[in-house]
């Protein structure tokens, strides 16, 4: 809610479209109030992390407004003082200051989206406000009906060396209750990407020159304004449509030192509106840096951002031709169709079928090592021993040893992880597995293709971290590449599942104790996030916040919450479904196989997974997902017990008490209790705890247990004092 209580609003000169005069913005000076309160509790909690309140009420003296004509009529009806008062130049300067702050947000093309809403109004009215409250940084509120999450609230973040716009809240107008069934909102995309035809040349300095032809099917019309994404380091020369006409486009400059980079967002204005069922073909011509050269090698940073992408994880068929230096080894996603020498160049052709949401390649002075084994597809390892021998000289100074035959060590983990996941989740479906070293710190998975970061090729550590990383990226062939995720709220279905799959692999090859140690490490890190000697910072957000778990108030939480806690959620489900008498896990594995089989090649949601989990659990799991995915409760339990013997029967009774703190009353946990009968035998029972003070007895025990242990398998993410 914005109240313009007293002052002057000056409207900008309107635009004219098809004889309609469209007022689109204005600047207000005076006295006003900005009030904002998100609808869902998850967003209220996020607002609280930044402002220590779940609803804002800020007074202001200046506000910049952008809107559609209906809002203009409301403003002119309620504000009679619309004439210009004071110096026009001063007003323009003040308005420009606020607009510069809006444009600082390189993630959005505000002027492009405003124009789209002016010409093609859709649903509720577009509205943007840039507010300058007294003594605080600028706030930006946006309602854009074309976005999947229509409501956006952002603030300027400034400290020495940093000045940017940070998203605080982002949510759908349809997410109005605490079930979070509609957390993903409604898909507003207007195009379905069908095919890519890519003709790329990469020189030996890491510069790309590319022609990419993309074919779309229009699934919602009229469509004349579209946005695509492209790596900021790539300069877009031109775009040509079906009729060989130049397509007008807009792209903002980025403030990057020594670089002439632009925003990844590109707004396209087509020459006419396209309607449902039409085919749209666009050809993009672009060039620029996708890698940096050092030590004679290319440090490729492009990932899957080197070609124009529409929508979120749109799947398409790819046909690609690459022209590269003949002295380099080149490999890519998909099937290699041909290879030939052309002067100083190597020309290779590839296709990626079935549809994929992201593709990439690797290039460098590498050698291919081919491993073939019955029951598995061929595994290709691309690796430069010569480079690592050179690096070994430098690492030896810090007493870091280079592992022997690293291509074999990498292959061993990729091969064994693939066998494990084939057995657990279902068969790997690509015709081969290609694994390439990239000279970057990160790793990333693509269809049938894995980028493994530099560090895991140095050696294999004794603590299981390298094996965990390799298995994690392999697991993405099932979770992330195989089963996709619909929005960032569901990204834990990729990263959390891949992380837990890797832990299951570690359990197979390094044993149960190493597996439990990794879970304990995750639990300790989750509980200790931003806990300092003299206080604590903002609490972590829930899994459903996705990438937004990492912010200026919660730095580093993305990996901790989406990967580690996401894995823990899957571990808790596994423990709920295990037969504690036989330790049989068929129910859990059947659940995972059905989820993989049902959603391979599709984008799944948390609710999709919940439905399958409920089928195998046989109960409503709404409480489980609410506690662990949509909230960030971290229970702390104190477990005490006393064992008494009946003097008449000689039988024993264990009288037990579990006190749970830091969670609301009614918080529910299925948690195993281990009875250590003697040094060689143990028994297990599963407790359902749903009160904060939980008392129970174990009567008629023929033998006095040596010890009782609550949560022996880390079955619940909880801190246990016992």
pLDDT classification of 255: cutoffs 50, 70, 90: low
Question: In this predicted model, what pLDDT tens digit does every residue of 592-620 receive, in sequence order?
Answer: 999 999 999 999 999 999 999 999 999 99
- How many other β-carbons are positioned within 10 Å of the β-carbon of residue 337? 12
- H-helix segments, 600-654: 606-617, 622-628
Burial class (CB in 10 A: 0-12, 13-18, 19+), 649: exposed
The CB-side HSE value for 541 (13 A sphere, CA atoms) comes to 31
From 343, 361, 379, give the residue that closes a domain.
Answer: 361
Q: What are phi and psi of 538, to 5 degrees?
A: -65, 145
Is residue 514 one of the residues assigned to a domain?
yes
Q: Which residues contact 95 (CB under 8 A, 6 or more apart)?
A: 27, 64
Q: Is residue 384 part of a domain?
A: yes
Residues 120 and 141 both lie in one domain: yes
Q: Which of 182, 314, 310 is nearest to 605 (CA)?
A: 182
Percent of the chain with pLDDT over 90: 74
CA distances in angstroms from 398 to 282, 389, 401, 634, 668, listed in the order given: 53, 15, 9, 40, 50
- Check: CB of residue 174 under 8 Å from CB of residue 186: yes
| Residue 317 CA: distances (Å) to CA of 228, 551, 584 | 17, 35, 41
Looking at residue 80, what is its pLDDT? 44
Residues 133 and 51 in one domain: yes
User: 347 and 206 in one domain?
Assistant: yes
* pLDDT tens string 302-346: 889 999 999 999 999 999 999 999 999 999 999 999 999 999 999
State the Cα torsion 504-508-511-513 to the nearest 10°: 10
HEC per residue, 709-721 = EECCCCCCCCEEE
Summarised one tens digit per residue, pLDDT across range 12-62 is: 888 888 888 999 999 998 999 999 999 889 999 999 999 999 999 999 999
Residue with tokens 């619940």: 716
How does pLDDT run across 566-593, given as a tens digit for each residue? 999 999 999 999 999 999 999 999 999 9
3-state secondary structure of 86: coil
Let me know whether 545 and 640 are in one domain: no
Q: Are 209 and 200 in contact (CB under 8 A)?
A: yes
Q: How far, in Å, CA of 500 to CA of 511, rounded?
A: 15
Kindly state the tokens that stand for 327. Answer: 């002295």
Name residues whose C-beta falls within 8 Å of residue 436's C-beta, 6 or more positions apart in sequence. 331, 362, 366, 382, 383, 449, 450, 451, 452
Q: What is the largest CA-CA distance in the chain?
A: 99
Q: Is 6 found in the same domain as 150?
A: yes
Contact 318, 307 (CB under 8 A): no
End-to-end Cα spacing for the chain: 50
pLDDT digits (tens, 9 = 90+) for 507-525: 999 999 999 999 999 999 9
pLDDT above 90: residue 90:
no
Structure tokens at 350: 């590839």
Looking at the structure, tell me whether residues 674 and 706 fall in a common domain. Answer: yes
The number of domains in the chain is: 5
Specify whether the CB–CB gap between 170 and 549 falls below 8 A.
no
Residue 422 lies in a domain: yes
What pTM value is reported for the model?
Answer: 0.94
Q: Assess whether 612 and 647 both reside in one domain.
A: no
The band of 534, judged by pLDDT with boundaries at 50, 70 and 90, is very low
| pLDDT tier, 695 (very low <50, low <70, confident <90, very high otherwise) | very high
Here the CATH number for the domain that contains residue 647 is 2.60.40.1840
Same-domain check for residues 544 and 655: no
How, if at all, do strands 433-438 and 379-383 pair? parallel
Which band of pLDDT confidence, cut at 50, 70 and 90, is reported for residue 86?
A: very low
Q: Which SS3 state, helix, strand or coil, does residue 157 take?
A: strand
Tell me how far apart the alpha carbons of residues 601 and 484 are, in angstroms, rounded to a whole number. 7
**Lookup result for tokens 């809107």:** 67
Q: Where are the alpha helices (DSSP H) in 461-547?
A: 465-475, 492-510, 512-528
Contact predicate 194/317, CB 8 Å = yes
- Name the strand (E) or helix (H) holding 451: strand 449-453
Question: What's the pLDDT at 93?
Answer: 73
Given 112, 145, 171, the domain boundary residue is 171
Task: Let me know if 89 is exposed, middle or buried by CB neighbors in 10 A (0-12, 13-18, 19+).
Answer: exposed
- What percentage of residues in the chain have a pLDDT greater than 70? 94
How high is the pLDDT of residue 91? 64
Mean pLDDT to the nearest integer, 171-197: 92
Quote the tokens at residue 60: 């202001």
What rounded mean pLDDT belongs to the chain? 91
For 700-722, write each residue's pLDDT tens digit: 999 999 999 999 999 999 999 99
Q: Give the domain extent around 28.
A: 2-171
Q: Is residue 494 part of a domain?
A: no
CA-nearest of 210, 209, 71, 201 to 128 is 71
Asked, for residue 108, whether it belongs to a domain, the answer is yes
Domain termination residue (choose one: 361, 395, 419): 361
Cβ contact 694:658 at 8 Å: yes
pLDDT at 256 over 70: no
pLDDT, position 83: 44
Least confident segment among 4-18, 85-99, 196-210, 431-445 = 85-99
Separation CA 722–CA 710 (nearest Å): 8
CA angle 97, 101, 102 (to 5 degrees): 115
CA-based nearest residue to 168, from 66, 65, 42, 254:
42
Are 332 and 220 within one domain? yes
Return the SS3 of 324: strand
- Looking at the fold, whether 516 and 574 belong to one and the same domain comes out as yes
Specify the CATH number for the domain of residue 219.
2.60.40.1730
Tokens coding 221:
């019309």
DSSP annotation string for 298-321 = EEE--TT-SS-EETTT--EEEEEE
**Running DSSP on this structure, what letter comes out for residue 546?**
G
The CA distances from residue 156 to 97, 101, 139, in Å, are 13, 8, 6
Q: Is residue 469 part of a domain?
A: no
- 561 DSSP assignment: I
- The CATH number of residue 503's host domain is 1.10.390
pLDDT value of position 533 = 42
Bridge partner residues of 215 (DSSP): 195, 281
**Average pLDDT of span 633-647:** 95
The answer to whether 445 touches 460, Cβ cutoff 8 Å, is no
What pLDDT is attached to residue 390?
A: 74
Q: What sign does the CA torsion over 686, 688, 689, 695 have?
A: negative
Instruction: Pick the closest to residue 309 from 272, 271, 358 (CA basis).
Output: 358
In this structure, the answer to whether residues 263 and 217 fall within a common structural domain is yes
Give the Cα separation of 628 and 598 in Å (integer): 24
Q: What pLDDT, in 10s, does the model give residues 461-515?
A: 889 999 999 999 999 999 999 999 999 999 999 999 999 999 999 999 999 999 9
Which pair of structure tokens corresponds to residue 643? 């064992």
Judge whether 493 lies within some domain: no
* 28 in a structural domain: yes
Q: Are 26 and 65 in contact (CB under 8 A)?
A: yes
- Token pair belonging to 23: 């007022």
Residue 120: predicted pLDDT: 93
User: Do residue 407 and residue 434 come from a single domain?
Assistant: yes
d(CA 581, CA 573): 17
Check residue 531 and give its pLDDT. Answer: 57
């Amino acid at each position: 809610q914005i109240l313009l209580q007293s002052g002057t609003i000056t409207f900008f000169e309107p635009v004219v479209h098809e004889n309609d005069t469209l007022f689109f913005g204005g600047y207000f000076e005076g006295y006003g109030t900005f009030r904002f309160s998100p609808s869902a509790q998850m967003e209220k909690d996020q607002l609280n992390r930044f402002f220590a309140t779940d609803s804002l009420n800020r007074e202001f003296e200046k506000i910049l407004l952008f809107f559609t004509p209906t809002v203009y009529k409301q403003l002119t009806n309620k504000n009679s003082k619309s004439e210009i008062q004071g110096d026009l130049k001063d007003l323009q300067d003040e308005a420009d200051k606020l607009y510069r702050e809006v444009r600082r947000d390189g993630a959005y093309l505000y002027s492009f989206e405003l124009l789209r809403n002016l010409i093609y109004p859709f649903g509720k009215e577009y509205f943007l406000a840039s507010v300058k409250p007294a003594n605080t940084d600028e706030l930006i509120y946006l309602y854009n009906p074309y976005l999947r999450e229509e409501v956006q609230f952002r603030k300027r973040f400034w400290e020495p060396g940093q000045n940017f716009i940070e998203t605080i809240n982002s949510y759908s107008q349809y997410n109005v209750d605490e079930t979070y069934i509609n957390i993903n909102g409604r898909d507003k995309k207007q195009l379905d990407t069908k095919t890519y035809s890519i003709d790329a040349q990469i020189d030996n300095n890491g510069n790309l020159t590319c022609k990419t032809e993309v074919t779309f099917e229009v699934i919602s019309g009229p469509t004349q304004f579209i946005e695509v994404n492209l790596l900021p380091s790539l300069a877009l020369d031109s775009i040509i449509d079906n009729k060989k006409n130049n397509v007008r486009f807009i792209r903002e400059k980025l403030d990057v030192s020594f670089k002439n980079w632009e925003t990844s967002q590109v707004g396209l204005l087509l020459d006419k509106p396209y309607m449902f069922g039409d085919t749209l073909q666009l050809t993009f011509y672009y060039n620029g840096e996708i890698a940096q050269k050092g030590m004679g090698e290319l440090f490729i940073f492009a990932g899957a951002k080197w070609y124009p992408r529409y929508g979120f994880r749109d799947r398409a068929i790819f046909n690609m031709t690459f022209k590269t230096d003949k002295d380099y080894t080149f490999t890519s996603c998909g099937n290699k169709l041909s290879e030939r020498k052309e002067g100083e160049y190597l020309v290779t052709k590839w296709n990626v079928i079935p549809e994929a949401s992201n593709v990439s390649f690797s290039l460098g002075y590498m050698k291919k090592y081919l491993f073939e084994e019955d029951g598995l597809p061929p595994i290709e390892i691309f690796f430069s021993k010569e480079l690592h021998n050179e690096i070994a000289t430098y690492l030896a100074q810090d007493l870091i040893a280079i592992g022997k035959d690293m291509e074999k060590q990498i292959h061993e983990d990729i091969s064994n992880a693939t066998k494990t996941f084939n057995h657990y989740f279902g068969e790997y479906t690509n015709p081969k597995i290609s694994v390439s070293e990239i000279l970057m710190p990160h790793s990333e998975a693509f269809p049938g293709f894995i980028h493994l970061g530099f560090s895991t090729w140095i050696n294999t550590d004794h603590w299981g971290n390298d094996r965990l990383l390799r298995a994690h990226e392999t697991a993405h062939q099932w979770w992330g590449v195989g089963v996709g995720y619909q929005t960032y709220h569901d990204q834990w279905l990729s990263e959390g599942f891949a992380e837990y799959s890797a832990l299951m692999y570690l359990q197979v090859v390094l044993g149960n104790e190493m597996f439990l140690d990794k879970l304990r490490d995750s639990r300790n890190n989750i509980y200790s996030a931003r806990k300092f000697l003299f206080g604590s910072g903002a609490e972590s957000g829930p899994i459903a916040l996705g990438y937004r778990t990492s912010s200026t108030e919660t730095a580093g939480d993305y990996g901790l919450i989406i990967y580690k806690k996401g894995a823990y959620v899957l571990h808790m489900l596994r423990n709920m479904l295990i037969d504690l008498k036989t330790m049989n896990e068929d129910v859990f594995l059947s659940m995972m196989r059905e989820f993989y089989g049902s959603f391979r090649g599709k984008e799944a949601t948390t609710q999709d997974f919940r439905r399958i989990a409920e089928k195998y659990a046989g109960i409503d799991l709404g409480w489980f997902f609410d506690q662990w995915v949509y909230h960030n409760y971290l229970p702390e339990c104190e477990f005490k017990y006393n064992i008494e013997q009946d003097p008449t029967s000689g039988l024993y009774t264990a009288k037990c008490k579990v006190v749970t703190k830091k969670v609301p009353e009614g918080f529910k946990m299925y948690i195993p209790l281990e009875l250590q009968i003697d040094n060689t035998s143990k028994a297990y029972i599963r407790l359902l705890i749903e009160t904060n003070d939980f008392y129970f007895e174990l009567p008629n025990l023929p033998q006095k247990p040596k010890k009782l242990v609550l949560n022996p398998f880390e079955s619940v993410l909880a801190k246990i004092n016992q």
